[in-house]
Amino acid sequence: MNRPILIGLAVLLSLIVIILPVAAIFTRAFAEGVSVWAQAVTEPETLAAIRLTILTALIVLPVNIVFGLCAAWAIARFRFPGRRALLVVIEIPFAISPIVAGLCFLLIYGAYGPVGSALQPYGIQLMFNLTGIVLVSLFVTCPFVVREVLPVLSVAGEDEERAALTLGANGWQIFRLVTFPNITWALVYGAILATARAIGEFGAVSVVSGAIRGQTMTLPLQIELLYNDYNTTGAFAAATVLALLALLTLVLRALISITHPATGAKP
C-alpha cells in the first residue's frame, strides 16, 4: 500500500521539479519555430559566448586532469605531513560559494591585489579577460577529478604496483600499465563532472568577466543578459544550447556507468 504512494510521490516530484522546467526551456525556445531558434543561436554575440564557454572548458579540462591525478596520487600513495590538510583544502571549492571565489580572485589578481598590481607594470592583466575566467573556472572545478580518482586508487592498493616494481618496471611503465588502467574510468568520470561544472559556472565568472559583449561573456552570463534585455527567445535559445551541452555530459556519464559499473558513475 505504501510503496505505490512513495513511488508516485517520487515520480510526481521529479516531474514538477526537474522534467517540467527542462521541457519548458525547449518548448519556449522552439515556440516560434526552428528557424527563429537557429537565428537566435547563431547571433554573433551568442556564438561568441558559446565559443568562449567551450574554449574555457577545453583549457580547464587538461589542467584538471593533471592536477587531479597528481593530487590523488600523492594523497593515496604517500604519507606526508599535511596530507589530511591537503584533503580538506581540495574540498574548499565545494564549500565556498562561487561569488566569494570570484571576489577572492579579484582581491588578489585585480589591479589593487598583490599579484595584479605587481604584474601591471609589465602590461599583464589577469582579470576581466579569458585568463580570469579560466582561473576561477579552475578554482570551482578542481576537486572533481581528485574526488573520483582518490577512492579508486585507495581501493586498488599498492600491491600490483609493488609487483611491477619487483619485475623491473620503471615509474612511467608502472603508471601507464598498472595504475592508469585501474583509474581510467574514474578519471574520465571526474573530468566529465568538472567540464559540466565549468560550462555552467555563473557566479564566479560573473565577478571577473567584465561583461564585454562578444568577448568575455560566457554562455550562462549571455543567457542572463539576453533575458534582462527582454530578448526572451534569444535567452531560451541560448539556454537550450547550454542544456544540450549538459545533457551531453549526462549521456557520457550514463554510457560509462553501463560499460564500467565499477567506477563512481553508478546509475
Shortest Cβ 59–other proteins spacing (Å)? 4
In Å, how far are 67, 69, 81, 83, 177 from 86, measured between CA atoms? Answer: 13, 14, 9, 5, 27
CA atoms within 13 A on the CB side of 52: 29
Instruction: Name the grid cell of 123.
Output: 602590461
Q: Does 261 bind other proteins (CB under 8 A)?
A: no
* Closer residue to other proteins, CB minimum distance, 2 or 27: 27
Q: Does 66 bind other proteins (CB under 8 A)?
A: yes
* Closer residue to other proteins, CB minimum distance, 196 or 207: 207
Reference 65, options 135, 141, 152; nearest CA is 141
Give Cα 155 distance to the centre of its chain.
Answer: 25
Residue position matching grid coordinates 609493488: 162
- Binder to other proteins among 18, 229, 251, 261 (CB under 8 A)? 229
- Binder to other proteins among 93, 98, 102, 116 (CB under 8 A)? 116
Q: Does 215 bind other proteins (CB under 8 A)?
A: yes
- Binder to other proteins among 47, 54, 55, 156 (CB under 8 A)? 55
Q: Does 2 bind other proteins (CB under 8 A)?
A: no
CA atoms within 13 A on the CB side of 11: 6
DSSP 8-state class, residue 18: I
| AA identity, residue 157 | G
Q: Does 214 bind other proteins (CB under 8 A)?
A: yes
Q: Does 47 bind other proteins (CB under 8 A)?
A: no
- Residue 149's H or E segment, with its range, is helix 143-156
Shortest Cβ 181–other proteins spacing (Å)? 16
Q: Rounded CA gap, 32 and 99, in Å?
A: 35
What x-and-dash track marks residues 173-212 binding other proteins by CB under 8 A?
Answer: -------------------------------------xxx
212 Ramachandran zone, left/alpha/beta (phi>0; psi -120 to 50): beta
Shortest Cβ 225–other proteins spacing (Å)? 7
- Binder to other proteins among 25, 47, 54, 63 (CB under 8 A)? 63
Site residues (vs other proteins, CB under 8 A): 55, 58-59, 62-63, 65-66, 106, 110-112, 116, 120, 123-125, 127-131, 134, 210-215, 225, 228-229
